[in-house]
Amino acid sequence: MGHEKQQPGQVLASYGSHALVRLADGKARECSIKGKRLRPVAGDRVQVVLGHKDEAVLSEILPRQSELAKQSGGGRRKQVLAANLDLLVVMIAPEPAPEPGIVDRYLAAAEALGLDAAVVFNKEELAPDGPPDWLSEFRALGYPVFTVSAARGDGLSSLTAHLARHTAALVGQSGVGKSTLLNALLGESVARTAAISEKHGEGRHTTTTAYLHDLPSGAGGIIDSPGVRDFHLWPIAPESVAGLFREIRETSVGCRFNDCQHDAEPGCAVRASVESGEISARRYRSYLRLREQMRQLKERNPDLL
């Protein structure tokens, strides 16, 4: 026992009873996971016990700053996909036709999780008239917006510079080019991960395993898996939805009632701002839709919220 020492690390990927952990010295080590109660995910900060026979055991998961989770078990359980992210990158493209309401939902999810968010318009080569005008709404709210062509490599330098300060996840509809962008940003890191997956997969469906990829610059990372890419907003209380829209949250301090839901209440500063054009009417309608969806969800599944 005297030969054992403990070292902090970060999980790059987790496979059943083993995890790949980057230790404090920068080297990645395969670790067995102590007990069945520990369920580490990519991004977790952990403690690893190094034994005298070159054994490495993941012994503790440190408190998470954030969790990206989805519903499982018929919507009654939370499955954590990744941990300690600080940026959600919402991707859209000319094809499939971009829907601003979907971007609203992803940005609301980022707000709910306490994450920064950015919007990327990919495949600019397919948009001769440029990106859609409504992207300016997100820019005005302080969300960085990038226009890129992952296939051609255009516009990637400013996006890479932004990602360098973060641990990020790419999310968005199928077909917007998330894999192409990931390959363009990471290059050989993706191929290395595929090799790791085959080596440590233990016969599981390793394509569903989330990985923390280091950016080539070494100053940031991207957590990726199909589950992460298709992440959706975890159910929240309908009355909390207003707080997930930055402009509504900030304007609501001027409402007459503290519990104003910005619908039909008198003295609503939010509705006044919509009528004056200070708040986007489209974003306001998106808020009402999301709040109604959460209300219906709560009605059908009261235990979820």
Q: What is the CATH number of the domain that holds 10?
A: 2.40.50.140
In sign, the C-alpha dihedral spanning 197, 65, 77, 105 is negative
Q: Is residue 149 part of a domain?
A: yes
Q: Is residue 162 part of a domain?
A: yes
* Same domain, residue pair 157 and 173: yes
* Same domain, residue pair 136 and 278: no
* Same domain, residue pair 149 and 178: yes
Query: Which domain does 29 fall in, by range?
Result: 5-61
* Same domain, residue pair 84 and 221: yes
At which of 229, 263, 278 does a domain end?
229
* Same domain, residue pair 116 and 41: no
How many separate domains does the chain show? Answer: 3
Comparing 19-23, 74-78, 288-292, the range with the smallest average pLDDT is 74-78
Q: What is the CATH number of the domain that holds 97?
A: 3.40.50.300
* Same domain, residue pair 107 and 135: yes
* Same domain, residue pair 222 and 129: yes
Report the share of the chain in percent with pLDDT over 90: 73
* Same domain, residue pair 44 and 113: no
Binding residues: 172-180, 255, 260, 262, 268
* Same domain, residue pair 177 and 267: no
Binding residues for GTP: 172-180
pLDDT in tens, 249-285: 999 999 999 999 999 999 999 999 999 999 999 999 9
CB 124 within 8 A of CB 154: yes
At which of 229, 246, 280 does a domain end?
229
pLDDT at residue 114 in the model: 94
Report the share of the chain in percent with pLDDT over 70: 90
Binding residues for Zn(2+): 255, 260, 262, 268
The pLDDT-based confidence of 77 (bands split at 50, 70, 90) is: confident
Q: Is residue 305 part of a domain?
A: no
pLDDT in tens, 155-191: 999 999 999 989 999 999 999 999 999 999 998 656 5
pLDDT in tens, 199-243: 554 444 445 689 999 998 777 899 998 889 888 888 889 999 999
* Same domain, residue pair 110 and 212: yes
Q: What is the CATH number of the domain that holds 290?
A: 1.10.40.50
* Same domain, residue pair 77 and 223: yes
In 3D space, the residue among 225, 149, 147, 227 whose CA is nearest the CA of residue 184 turns out to be: 149
Residue 194 has pLDDT above 90, yes or no: no
* Same domain, residue pair 57 and 90: no
